[in-house]
Structure 1
C-alpha cells in the first residue's frame, strides 16, 4: 500500500469522524466487552497514541515499543508510544507527539500527522485516540528507561494481512477474556495495541 493511499484513506476517515458524518463501524470499540466485566467509569480518561508508519525500503513499517517489566500497568506489553492527555496539551495530536518524544526520542519534525482514527476504550478506563503519522527516516530513537525496554519496527503488511490476526483468550477476574493478537516472530502483540491495529487495517483495506 502506498503512502498516498494511506494518507487518502486515513484523512477521509478523520474528516468524517470529526464532522459527524456516518462511517462504517470499526471492528472494535474496546479491548474486550466491558459491559458486565468491569464497572464502567462515569467518565473516560482521555489519552492518545501515535501510530508511527515509517518510510522504509521496500515498504512502510510500524514503530512499536515494549514496556518495561516494572511499569505499574501493562508491564512488559507491546504498545504504541503515547499516554494520558495533560492539561496543557491543546489536543490529542499534541498529546501523542509529546509522549512519543518523551518515550522514544522521536521528534515531531520527522512526523507528518495525517489524523486520528476511531477511539478505543480500555478496561483501565482510558479512551485512546490513535493518531496516524508518516515518519521520515533519519531519526534516532532514545528510549526512556523508566517506561520503554525496547523500540522496534514491524512491516505494515504484517498487520494488513488477516491471516496474521487471531483471537486468543485468558481468564481475567474469573471470566474468560477474548482479544486480538498479531504475533510477529517472538513479539506477542495483543490487547489494545492489536485492537487499534485491527481498526487501522479496516480503515486501510475497506472497500471505498
Structure 2
C-alpha cells in the first residue's frame, strides 16, 4: 500500500468497533504506542521492535514503540512520541501524526491508545538496549492482509480468549500488536 492510498482510506474511515477487545475487571492502566509508517520503494512499511529478552513483562515480543502514560505526559500522542524517542531514538513530529485508532484493552490490564504516523527514516536508530533488542520494518500490506490474520486460543484466569497472530519470516507479531494491526485493517476497509 502506498502513502496516498493509506491516507485516503484512513481519512475517510468511519469509526469502528474493534475486531478484538478484551474485558478486564478492575482499573486499566493507560498507555500509548506509535504505529510508525515509512515509505519504501515497495510501499509503506511498519516500524516494530523486538523487546529485550531480560524484561520482566513481554520479553522478546514484537511490539510498537510505546509505554505507559506518565503524569507529566500532556496527551496520548505525547506519550507515544516520548516513548518512541526514548526506546529507538526516532524523533517523530506532530505534523507526521495522521490520527489514532480505537483504544485497545489488553488481557494484562492496559488501555492502549495507538497513534498513527507517517514519517521519513533519516538515520540509524538509537536503541535503548534496556528495553529493545532490535528494530525492523514489515511491509504494511503483509500485516493488513486478512489471510495473514490467524488466531489461537489462550486461557488466562479461567477465561478463554482468541488471540491473533501474524506470521512474518521467522517470527510472529501477536497479541495486542497484532490486534491493533487488525483493527487498522478493519478501519481501512480491508476486512470485516
TM-score by length of structure 2 reads 0.90
- Residues 148 and 110 of structure 1: CA distance in aligned 2, closer, same or farther (over 3 Å): farther
Partner secondary structure for residue 177 of structure 2: helix
Q: Is the CA contact (8 Å cut-off) linking 1:65 and 1:148 kept in structure 2? A: yes
* Unaligned stretches of 5+ residues in structure 2: none
Partner secondary structure for residue 133 of structure 1: strand
| Alpha-carbon RMSD | 2.1
Q: Which structure 2 residues correspond to residues 62-101 of structure 1 after superposition, within 5 A? A: 62-101=46-85
- Residues 3 and 183 of structure 1: CA distance in aligned 2, closer, same or farther (over 3 Å): same
Matched, 1:26 2:10: no
TM-score by length of structure 1 reads 0.84
Residue in structure 2 matching 1:40, options 16, 22, 25 = 25
Most deviating of 171-180 and 132-141: 171-180
Residue in structure 1 matching 2:140, options 156, 164, 168 = 156
1:206 offset after TM fit, Å? 4.9
- Residues 83 and 133 of structure 1: CA distance in aligned 2, closer, same or farther (over 3 Å): same
Most deviating of 174-183 and 142-151: 174-183
Partner residue of 2:6?
Answer: 6
* Larger strand share, 1 or 2: 2
* Unaligned stretches of 5+ residues in structure 1: 17-22
1:44 offset after TM fit, Å? 1.9
1:50 offset after TM fit, Å? 0.2
